[in-house]
Amino acid sequence: MTAGLNIVLTGATGGIGRAFASALVPRAGSLLLAARDDGRLQAMAAGLRRENPALQVSTVAGDLCSVPGRAAVVEAARALPGGPELLVNNAGVGDFAWFANESEADIERVIRTNLLAPVLLTRALLPLMRPGPHAAVVNVGSILGDIGNPGNVAYSTTKYALRGFSEALRRELHGSGIRVQYLAPRATRTALNSAAQDALNAELGNGSDTPDTVARALLALLDGHRAEMHLGWPERFFVRLNRLLPSVVDRALGKRAAVVRRHAATKGGNAG
């Protein structure tokens, strides 16, 4: 991928977001970072400018679930010379909890943040995006957008929907000069994970990646022009198995449900 791109990155101050930003610096001419915490955004922007003094870094602090928060990102993107070329929808939250015990407010928060916010932001930014060989919308989903896990019902719901959004929009934009891609990390070692989720992963022997691993996968996805990329083994195998023989995965994950429920009962937390 060429350098000098105008890039919009949401969820920029999280563990994966910071890794994405650093990985994208050599490819960016202008980098627009969006997140909720202005102090963390400013500190991050200052660090990136030190890393590359020629880089134009701008920030937007706000809630992408709100109309004003999305409007602020759109206005900042409008100021990018020539318009944005790459949008990375990375902002998201999780909620590791037994579904029957989740509050309506928690379920609504997950759906608004993980699904409605990126869908509506993408719709608002598409008219500003500059078509070209490197123009793309990348939606960051999850392995749980292909494999519905107990303890992650609300989260899996949003990531399945985000994958469907990516697929449908990719087909709608065919021939437009703007690609739509979907990146599905597995469990990733960030502060997003709750202690309960980490304990469950340890007991079940679930693999996990560093944010830098996910960032390298993002670059490979962009360079390879694939529609989707799923991280981890045996996770990639189970994605394929779940599409072909879901009843086999039903039985395998059903046997783990009691263990998941025990960990989820300790404290509802975030899924990576």
Catalytic residue set: 155
Asked if 272 and 188 count as a contact pair (C-beta separation under 8 A), the reply is yes
Owner of token pair 């650093």: 22
DSSP 232: S
Residues shown for the chain: 272
Run of H or E residues at 52: none
Q: What is the DSSP letter of 33?
A: E
Report whether 129 contacts 77 (CB < 8 A).
no
SS3 263: helix
> Of 232, 226, 247, 241, nearest to 187 (Cα)?
232
Give yes or no for a contact between 88 and 7, defined as CB atoms under 8 angstroms apart: yes
Show the tokens assigned to 146: 């292909």
CA angle 116, 117, 118 (to 5 degrees): 95
For 15: left if phi > 0, alpha if psi spans -120 to 50, otherwise beta; the answer is alpha
Taken in order 150, 237, 223, 172, the sign of the CA dihedral is: negative
Strand pairing partners for 213?
none
